[in-house]
Structure 1
Amino acid sequence: MFKDLIYVIPKEKHSEEDLRDILTSHSEIKFVSLIGIDLSGNDTDERIPMKVFLEDISGFIQGAIQTDGSSVVLPGIATLNNAKVDMIADTDVNWFVDYNFEFIDEETSKPIGTVRIPCFLIHEGKAVDSRHILKAATTYVKDTLFDSYKKYPELLAAYGAAFDDVSDVIATAATELEFWVKTPEDKAEVQELFTSQVLQEQYWTRTKGVVRSALEETLLLMEMYGLDPEMGHKEVGGVKAHLTESGNLTHVMEQLEIDWKYADALQAADNELFVRTLVKETFRRYGLDVTFLAKPIDGVAGSGEHTHLSIALKLKNGKRFNLYASTDNNFLSIYGYGSLMGILKNYEVINPIVSATNDSLRRLKPGFEAPVCIVTSLGHSVDVPSRNRTILLGAIRDLNNPMATRFELRAPNPFTNTYLALAALFVTSIDGISYAISNKKTEADLLAELSKADGEETAYLEKDRAYRSEEDVFEDYSDEERSRLFGKAPATVYENVLALDKYTEKVDVLKSGNVFTEEILNSFRIGVERRWLTEIDSRIISDYTDEIRSFKKLHCVENALDLDVANWQKVNDLRQYLLKNSYSTKSLFTSVKDAINAGDYATVSELQIKMDAKIAELRSLYNEYKNNLLDI
């Protein structure tokens, strides 16, 4: 840990004069990197020598640096024959200095640093990147509410203010980062992990050895970067590590979570992106692998990234109010209810943005608190805040701190594009808020509408749906009831993106304020579908093939009982059905590949569901076969 390093260059220090002073006095900072975020959430990363930056600081922070757009995910926008993309530095957010703690500068005895400068990607004069989309969404929130206060100044009476007193409206956000950490190459048995999970042997227990050291160093570094960590702890997944004769831990397999404080929405997304890198690099220095996959191990708890959002009103006298907090002893304010209703009503077209990968949908299966139903919880009474963990979008309240009122979306995972997800959440929030304001709805009116029964017709929410439940949505409803009341969760990426065709009115809501344009949505969808097909073809089937080939006959004929022979026959028949072709029949894997090559997305989706189910069946059959053998 180096306390005399510069970890952050705050937005107030982005003038040419300040930058030159800072960078020339810290010669250990050798590089600059412009960070653009494509529509898949990938960040660019390069090393521009500091000498080049210092020779033309104004050109970097006021001009445009060109890059090859074909190397980022902007399909249908930056094509091979029209790939030039300009990178425009964002001077309104903090810039982090990323240090290579394994490369020490000989002159200063300090690690080599790189200034990461977030930027916007501009193609043919239009911004086409994820950061710009989120910035446009927060601007839309501010402009819409300013217009509302101008038209309905009485809305400000609850805050003791008039329109001229308003300084700003700020969309704020925070994320919780969950991840799995393990020693390289070590694998734990799924049954062992599942048993430990059910017994809750790891949840919030003590971290030890290198895991503790890496976690603690990560939290200390986050403090250095001004990220205000609140806690780091074990999550529900994991098993006890083994102790070697030398006193070191091996066979580490643990799930951890790190939380940190709120920021304005764009800064919060930038912070999360940097924390992911910080976590991965810090744990790697301790010889540990980190994965941010949503569902790295089937049958065991996945990793979420619960995303929190709220909207704040700032007055010119410095006072700040949480617009979601009730001003009349209710669960929420009209803004809170309206925001909640806007998100829930339009979630079918938000979901393709939040859950855009095969991995994300593996986590979102019914059971073990997986948020698959479009439903919220407020609490049984105003005095008892809800902590229902089975719902999609929860209202989080602290009775002693109205500023803490917020919504927690439980569906995102560490690879969700947080920029786009937050943008979609805030845009749809405004749809509900605008309904509430323009129709002069009270908090009581909106609570009644949100709490409607299915079949009850209301002005905003859909008739044949329910949107609120204070019960466990998995324990207290049947599968049929859940689907009827709260909607059927998509099973594949293709089913998910079909919502963009099916719900055209809700897509129009996403396009409000020109935040998500038709071009952006089309590009995003092309990228999602390409990754979906490529992953099935080149990774999922390949991994399944390796797994199937590892399921070998273990019994000796002379020692086998009839049940062993029968069990193995079931296993082998299913292995051949999945993988083996003949002159007269095609395997399921070959049928999937044929559908991919034919561009038949609907068939690929149907066969993917079948393929995953057959693999789960095969695993169960093989375990049954293996567990009946005395000698292996």
Structure 2
Amino acid sequence: MLKKLIYVIPKEKHSEKDIKDILLAHSEVKFVSLVGIDLSGNDTDERIPMKIFLDDISGFSNGVIQTDGSSVVLPGIATLNNAKLDMLADADCNWYIDYNYENIDPETQLPIGTLKVPCTLLHDKIPVDSRSILKRSVETFKTTLLDLLKENPSALSSFDFEYKDIDNLMLTSATELEFWVKTPNDKADIEELSTSQVLKEQYWSKTKGNVRTALEQTLLLMQEYGFEPEMGHKEVGGVKAQIGEAGSLTHIMEQLEIDWKYSDALQCADNELFIRNLVKETFRINGLDVNFLAKPVHDVAGSGEHTHIGIAVKLKSGKRVNLFNSDNNHFLSTLGYASVMGVLKNYEVINPFVSSTNDSLRRLKVGFEAPICIVTSLGHSVDVPSRNRSILLALIRDLDNPLATRFELRAPCPHTNTYLALSTLYMGMLDGIVYAIKNNKSEDDLLKELSKAPGDDADYLEKDRAYRSEEDVFEYYTEAQRADYFGKAPKTVYENVSSLDEFPTKLEILKTGGVFTTSIINSFRMAITSRWVTEINNRLLNNYAEEIRKCKMIHTAEKALDLDLANWQKVNDLRHALMKDTYSKTSLFTKINEASNIENYKELSTLQIQLDAQIEELRFCYSNYKKNLLDI
């Protein structure tokens, strides 16, 4: 029966007649949902009866459906006194059907489906949603680059075609989705998780039970939707599950990854959004919780979402050419070198759109294969592609497949707004490309500048910085050297978003072609700042308070030795310093609340860094205290 389901209406089938014919032939699709993406990456979801849609398809393309600012994150734009947003269906992308396998249509005996239609959010007739920003970024990139190539024919001298041969410029992207899966209400020991990670006991090991079933079902469904899954496997995090009394697995705590084929930039972001929901629902039906947090468990590997970017042209002959690829004497073409230089130079204003939550920055720590420096790696030689996993922007090359050459940004996580991240990346790349082409730079010129040492003169990159390293940046450099060479990594959301003020010239790069506007940037800043403060006060402090209260005295007076008493005193002193007020002393928790109330965000940022450090110290001290006790 399920073979009768339709999973996608491709953009080539979006004429009014085609849509009606398809949907009338599939009466199990009962609803339509317009999907708009706000500045936090949240997607709208509603259930509009299919009859309303079929009676006025053209109206959906002209904004017949509306919502208001209380439904989406657009602070400073959709305000209480001007909150109306028009929702315009986007016909230039694939539309997917989301099925509810727990609600069966009695007439067809098929699961009831909802047609998911990506849309534009308009405020006062101006597009303000994340999808629109990415659309503008792609259009600006394509138009500017094609104009540059037309005006500067020498920019294509290393390729075997000319400007007149170009049929289409293609921006390709792909993401990799990592996530944790667990049985509800079961908890795994953090020390056991950390040990398993160090020993790499779970990486690429076999999935079992309902985890295997859910993973296989997800991959099969992705095939039905045309996502072309390439792989699903276990990641480094996790512990071995236990077998319950009924023979089923319990205490599941595993990290998985799913990869699928690239597509154009906008479709890439749409696909990722749909696949995340598909993963969550498929695993839930199998009795499993999915967690897309970047760092759900401290001291254990977080979940990334490496984002891949490429540029290609389709020639009038039908041939496809990768514009990053070069001959065997170079790592990259001029456009490839220029693109990576543009991202690295402007990353301070790109980073807020990539890592915009407490959780995302918590993942970017030394020792967890997550980037902490603005640096790239090309490879020790042209003949040996780089496999450096300690850097921010990786060059991916396959010597046998020129079309595979691309960049991988390793900082994004599952909660990164891919629409905005891609938008900023393309604008950074374009800045580097404009520099390279207008100044007639060769591959050798750009490689030399990209490989510069701190203090070397440079025409485009900053003199006091380095941008390339083939070493393990976690081990080869000290913390001070990393900061001097590659820039200081932000520790809090406030530090990250402050870059938008500290680097005004770089910020203008994002505004090229009206891709980002001042109002959009200010709205985004307000949104992530509000979320940061709310998370600290309503989630982080509550979670830490629960953890602090669990650090209880467990020794008895008659069995405790002097070291036990000293260990406990350290723990108790930290507990009081963190959350216990007295008439003469204010706890760190209270200081954080006070800084939040008066909106002293600089002080709040400093206090958050202090809070995280003291929590880490508490965990260490309590672990030592417990380990020295014989009787618990």
User: Which residue is 1:71 aligned to?
Assistant: 71
Instruction: Quote how far apart the aligned CAs of 1:159 are.
Output: 4.0
Amino acid at match of 1:265: A
> Do the aligned residues in 1 keep the contact of 2:158 with 2:326 (CA within 8 Å)?
no
Amino acid at match of 2:610: K
Structure 1 position 400 matched with structure 2 position 405: no
User: Which residue is 1:585 aligned to?
Assistant: 585
> Do the aligned residues in 1 keep the contact of 2:551 with 2:622 (CA within 8 Å)?
yes
- Percent of paired sites with the same residue: 66
Looking at structure 1, the residues matched to 477 and 578 of structure 2 have their Cα atoms a distance apart, in angstroms, of: 34
> Do the aligned residues in 1 keep the contact of 2:305 with 2:414 (CA within 8 Å)?
yes
Structure 1 position 216 matched with structure 2 position 216: yes
> What are the superposed Cα offsets for residues 407-452 of structure 1, whole Å, 9 maximum, x if unpaired?
0000000000000000000011000011111111111111111011
User: Which residue is 1:469 aligned to?
Assistant: 469
Instruction: Quote how far apart the aligned CAs of 1:312 are.
Output: 1.2
Matches within 5 A, 1:244-323: 244-323=244-323
User: Which residue is 1:527 aligned to?
Assistant: 527
User: Which residue is 1:40 aligned to?
Assistant: 40
Looking at structure 1, the residues matched to 62 and 20 of structure 2 have their Cα atoms a distance apart, in angstroms, of: 15
**TM-score for both structures, normalised by structure 2:** 0.99
> What are the superposed Cα offsets for residues 581-632 of structure 1, whole Å, 9 maximum, x if unpaired?
1122111100000000011011100000001111111111111111111121
SS at 2:172's partner residue? strand
Instruction: Quote how far apart the aligned CAs of 1:68 are.
Output: 1.0
User: Which residue is 1:416 aligned to?
Assistant: 416
Looking at structure 2, the residues matched to 24 and 8 of structure 1 have their Cα atoms a distance apart, in angstroms, of: 15
User: Which residue is 2:29 aligned to?
Assistant: 29
SS at 2:170's partner residue? strand
Instruction: Quote how far apart the aligned CAs of 1:248 are.
Output: 1.1
Instruction: Quote how far apart the aligned CAs of 1:64 are.
Output: 4.1
Structure 1 position 240 matched with structure 2 position 234: no
User: Which residue is 1:183 aligned to?
Assistant: 183
User: Which residue is 2:594 aligned to?
Assistant: 594
Structure 1 position 384 matched with structure 2 position 380: no
Amino acid at match of 1:445: D
> Do the aligned residues in 1 keep the contact of 2:328 with 2:382 (CA within 8 Å)?
no
Amino acid at match of 1:517: T
Structure 1, 570-579 or 94-103: larger mean CA deviation:
570-579
SS at 1:115's partner residue? strand
> What are the superposed Cα offsets for residues 552-598 of structure 1, whole Å, 9 maximum, x if unpaired?
11111122222222211111111111111112211110000000001
**TM-score for both structures, normalised by structure 1:** 0.99
Amino acid at match of 1:474: F
Looking at structure 1, the residues matched to 25 and 114 of structure 2 have their Cα atoms a distance apart, in angstroms, of: 14
User: Which residue is 2:363 aligned to?
Assistant: 363
Amino acid at match of 1:228: E
SS at 1:506's partner residue? helix
User: Which residue is 2:146 aligned to?
Assistant: 146
Looking at structure 2, the residues matched to 62 and 611 of structure 1 have their Cα atoms a distance apart, in angstroms, of: 50
SS at 1:103's partner residue? strand
Looking at structure 1, the residues matched to 528 and 353 of structure 2 have their Cα atoms a distance apart, in angstroms, of: 9
Looking at structure 2, the residues matched to 19 and 491 of structure 1 have their Cα atoms a distance apart, in angstroms, of: 49
User: Which residue is 2:60 aligned to?
Assistant: 60
Looking at structure 1, the residues matched to 457 and 319 of structure 2 have their Cα atoms a distance apart, in angstroms, of: 40
User: Which residue is 2:100 aligned to?
Assistant: 100
Instruction: Quote how far apart the aligned CAs of 1:328 are.
Output: 5.8
> Do the aligned residues in 2 keep the contact of 1:303 with 1:413 (CA within 8 Å)?
yes
SS at 1:3's partner residue? helix
SS at 1:539's partner residue? helix
Structure 1, 36-45 or 62-71: larger mean CA deviation:
62-71
Looking at structure 1, the residues matched to 279 and 52 of structure 2 have their Cα atoms a distance apart, in angstroms, of: 30
Looking at structure 1, the residues matched to 218 and 124 of structure 2 have their Cα atoms a distance apart, in angstroms, of: 40
Looking at structure 2, the residues matched to 627 and 84 of structure 1 have their Cα atoms a distance apart, in angstroms, of: 59
Instruction: Quote how far apart the aligned CAs of 1:158 are.
Output: 4.3
Structure 1, 444-453 or 245-254: larger mean CA deviation:
245-254
Structure 1, 547-556 or 193-202: larger mean CA deviation:
547-556
Looking at structure 2, the residues matched to 246 and 40 of structure 1 have their Cα atoms a distance apart, in angstroms, of: 43
Looking at structure 2, the residues matched to 429 and 2 of structure 1 have their Cα atoms a distance apart, in angstroms, of: 44
Structure 1 position 572 matched with structure 2 position 556: no
SS at 1:540's partner residue? helix
User: Which residue is 2:450 aligned to?
Assistant: 450
User: Which residue is 2:201 aligned to?
Assistant: 201
Gaps of at least 5 residues in structure 2 are none
Instruction: Quote how far apart the aligned CAs of 1:163 are.
Output: 2.9
Instruction: Quote how far apart the aligned CAs of 1:292 are.
Output: 0.5
Structure 1 position 129 matched with structure 2 position 129: yes
> Do the aligned residues in 2 keep the contact of 1:98 with 1:115 (CA within 8 Å)?
yes
SS at 1:474's partner residue? helix
> What are the superposed Cα offsets for residues 438-479 of structure 1, whole Å, 9 maximum, x if unpaired?
111111111111011110011001000000000000111111
Looking at structure 1, the residues matched to 116 and 49 of structure 2 have their Cα atoms a distance apart, in angstroms, of: 13
> What are the superposed Cα offsets for residues 87-115 of structure 1, whole Å, 9 maximum, x if unpaired?
11111100010000111111111000000
Instruction: Quote how far apart the aligned CAs of 1:316 are.
Output: 2.0
Structure 1, 153-162 or 131-140: larger mean CA deviation:
153-162
Instruction: Quote how far apart the aligned CAs of 1:247 are.
Output: 2.4
Looking at structure 2, the residues matched to 445 and 10 of structure 1 have their Cα atoms a distance apart, in angstroms, of: 44
Instruction: Quote how far apart the aligned CAs of 1:3 are.
Output: 2.1
User: Which residue is 1:481 aligned to?
Assistant: 481
Looking at structure 1, the residues matched to 69 and 262 of structure 2 have their Cα atoms a distance apart, in angstroms, of: 32
> Do the aligned residues in 1 keep the contact of 2:427 with 2:510 (CA within 8 Å)?
yes
SS at 2:476's partner residue? coil
Instruction: Quote how far apart the aligned CAs of 1:246 are.
Output: 3.1
Looking at structure 2, the residues matched to 328 and 556 of structure 1 have their Cα atoms a distance apart, in angstroms, of: 71
> Do the aligned residues in 2 keep the contact of 1:138 with 1:170 (CA within 8 Å)?
no
Instruction: Quote how far apart the aligned CAs of 1:199 are.
Output: 0.3
> What are the superposed Cα offsets for residues 39-86 of structure 1, whole Å, 9 maximum, x if unpaired?
000000000000111111111134442111222000000001100011
Q: Say how many residue pairs are matched.
A: 632
> Do the aligned residues in 1 keep the contact of 2:63 with 2:86 (CA within 8 Å)?
no
Looking at structure 1, the residues matched to 477 and 152 of structure 2 have their Cα atoms a distance apart, in angstroms, of: 42
SS at 1:278's partner residue? helix
SS at 1:293's partner residue? coil
User: Which residue is 1:499 aligned to?
Assistant: 499
Amino acid at match of 2:11: K
SS at 1:508's partner residue? helix
> Do the aligned residues in 2 keep the contact of 1:231 with 1:258 (CA within 8 Å)?
yes
Instruction: Quote how far apart the aligned CAs of 1:304 are.
Output: 0.2
> Do the aligned residues in 2 keep the contact of 1:142 with 1:168 (CA within 8 Å)?
no
Instruction: Quote how far apart the aligned CAs of 1:366 are.
Output: 1.9
> Do the aligned residues in 2 keep the contact of 1:377 with 1:395 (CA within 8 Å)?
yes
Amino acid at match of 1:7: Y
SS at 1:475's partner residue? helix
Looking at structure 1, the residues matched to 516 and 56 of structure 2 have their Cα atoms a distance apart, in angstroms, of: 34
Amino acid at match of 2:371: P
Looking at structure 2, the residues matched to 97 and 34 of structure 1 have their Cα atoms a distance apart, in angstroms, of: 12
> What are the superposed Cα offsets for residues 227-265 of structure 1, whole Å, 9 maximum, x if unpaired?
000000000000000012432111100000000010000
Looking at structure 2, the residues matched to 309 and 248 of structure 1 have their Cα atoms a distance apart, in angstroms, of: 42
SS at 1:79's partner residue? coil
Matches within 5 A, 1:147-162: 147-162=147-162
> Do the aligned residues in 2 keep the contact of 1:180 with 1:253 (CA within 8 Å)?
yes
Amino acid at match of 1:568: W
Instruction: Quote how far apart the aligned CAs of 1:281 are.
Output: 0.3
Amino acid at match of 2:594: D
Looking at structure 2, the residues matched to 302 and 63 of structure 1 have their Cα atoms a distance apart, in angstroms, of: 40
Looking at structure 2, the residues matched to 78 and 339 of structure 1 have their Cα atoms a distance apart, in angstroms, of: 35
User: Which residue is 1:548 aligned to?
Assistant: 548
Looking at structure 2, the residues matched to 155 and 370 of structure 1 have their Cα atoms a distance apart, in angstroms, of: 35
> Do the aligned residues in 1 keep the contact of 2:174 with 2:308 (CA within 8 Å)?
yes
